[in-house]
Structure 1
Amino acid sequence: MSIEATARITAALDGRGVTSLPLLEGDGPLAPRRTRDMSGSGARVTVVGAMSAPLGGDRLTIVSRVEEGARLTVDSAAATVALPGTGREPATYDIELSVAERAELCWLPEQLVSAQGSVLHMTTRVRLAPTARLVLREEQILGRHAETTGTLVSRLTVHRAGRPLIDQQMAYGPGAPGGWDGAAVLGGHRAVGQLLVVDPVFDQRCPDARTLGDTAVRTPLAGPAVLVTAVAPDARLLRGVLDDALNDLLEARAG
């Protein structure tokens, strides 16, 4: 039996100028919990998986809003594993993010693992105000240990000030367009990820395009944003590449 579940997270400044969480709720396998923000300058929410999901036919949604001037970090307690279900319907996982003026969102979930036999369609949509800041990381692991990948279709769409900043779709596994596992795409690697950093300061000083080792590249976008894409043999190595890239971008942002 498939499930339908939604988690909602809203961050806003309270009367003291501190980021609070006036809305924090979830059902089914999505259990958002407030956790300690080590920086002390915003709020942190960790999404805890309360049951195995997504299975085939499941429909999961996370909606997060960061209101004017607030700062929010969202992570997860563990990797999300897409598993096969009993029916033929694909699972869907929709993420809707909005960040208001002078607000900041760091969206840093753990990896998504596409288990053999699973079918998952994942969509992330982001709406940014002109002065909003965003750090968004996505990591996909194609198959568990010693197994092939399931089918994974992932789309990321970001609009800033009402205009498109990035709109891309990736597909892997059975049924995906040919060549996804070839030398020009994965080149034998099982882990793929991307890091998007959007900040108005990049209008004045944007990091240049460059390769980051042998399997990653940093690309400025047509807007105050930088995209890092990477592949790696496993999750640990992929995370290391993206962490190093993020540290470099945060240093560049600070000037």
Structure 2
Amino acid sequence: MAATGVRARARIVARADGRGGTALPVLDGDGPLALRRTRGSGAEARVMVVGAMSGPLGGDRFAVEAQVQEGARLHVGSAAATIALPGQVKAEARYDVRLDVADGAELNWLPEQLISACGSELYVTTRAELGAGARLVLREEQVLGRVGEQPGRLTSRLAVRVAGRTVLDQELACGPGAPGGWDGPAVLAGHRSVGQLVVVRPEFGERQPPARMLGECAALVPLAGPAVLVSAVAPDALRLRRLLEEALTLLC
């Protein structure tokens, strides 16, 4: 590995094929970010992100971009969890996700969990830019440490804009060196899995689901636009996934 870490970029472009389906004119990944088209459903195209190498490690820079053009429908998942690991380079790793969904397009962004292993340091950003009539389901799940170990340092920023207007911009830092209180009752309350679900629907502009608790460990909050945020914490990844899947069933 080079002294500055690995650089890798993956890019997806989805567009309507004119026959009621979705074409993928660009499906390009390199290094540890491999992209595979899988069997879709109806008008929706499906893509799987396959990790070809371990990482991100210290000093690595990964980027994934997805552009969904008008009339297209795209579902993106990942084949396995992403594990942030310490590396030979004693530097922060970065993982940047950029999503662009046009008016009249739909994106389901549903990767597997991100695991922050002991000794790692990762800054991950997810930015979604949507047209006024776009649809989005975006799920983030983060697990602090593997079984029986302390977490690494993980900072996560999530930002969503609809028709040029910011509806969500939040950041959470956890692990060694993070601001005090991240593990206290006001944030994770001792839990080791945290997740967000963002659902954007044009019909939410007229009527949004009301704010409410979803059990003891999850909350649904309408955002300032046609969007809803569900935030959840759980003792492990399995229970976190169940919470978010139950919330998605309510919203969709």
Bin of the TM-score, shorter chain as denominator length: over 0.9
The residue number in structure 1 matching 2:119 is 117
Unaligned regions of 5+ residues in structure 1, if any? Answer: 251-255
Please say if 1:24 is aligned against 2:46: no
SS in 2 for 1:64: strand
SS in 1 for 2:239: helix
Unaligned regions of 5+ residues in structure 2, if any? Answer: none
Once residues 15 and 206 of structure 1 are traced to their aligned partners in structure 2, the CA distance between those partners, rounded to angstroms, is 32
The residue number in structure 1 matching 2:137 is 135
Once residues 74 and 137 of structure 1 are traced to their aligned partners in structure 2, the CA distance between those partners, rounded to angstroms, is 11
Once residues 152 and 40 of structure 1 are traced to their aligned partners in structure 2, the CA distance between those partners, rounded to angstroms, is 38
The residue number in structure 2 matching 1:246 is 248
* Equivalent residues in 2 for 1:226-245, closer than 5 Å: 226-245=228-247
Please say if 1:14 is aligned against 2:2: no
Please list the CA deviations of residues 72-109 of structure 1 after superposition, one character each: whole Å capped at 9, or x if unmatched. 00000000000001122110000010000100000000
Amino acid at match of 1:119: E
Most deviating of 155-164 and 77-86: 155-164
The residue number in structure 2 matching 1:59 is 61
What is the TM-score of this pair, normalised by structure 1? 0.96
The residue number in structure 2 matching 1:153 is 155
Q: Percent of aligned pairs with the same residue? A: 63
- Alignment match of 1:92 (pick from 81, 91, 94): 94
Once residues 136 and 19 of structure 2 are traced to their aligned partners in structure 1, the CA distance between those partners, rounded to angstroms, is 24
| Offset at residue 41 of structure 1 (A) | 2.3
Once residues 18 and 227 of structure 2 are traced to their aligned partners in structure 1, the CA distance between those partners, rounded to angstroms, is 32
- Alignment match of 2:192 (pick from 190, 193, 200): 190
| Offset at residue 15 of structure 1 (A) | 2.8
Amino acid at match of 2:180: G
Quote the RMSD (CA, aligned, Å). Answer: 0.7
Q: Runs of 4+ in structure 1 displaced over 6 angstroms?
A: none
- Alignment match of 1:179 (pick from 165, 178, 181): 181
Amino acid at match of 1:215: C
What is the TM-score of this pair, normalised by structure 2? 0.97
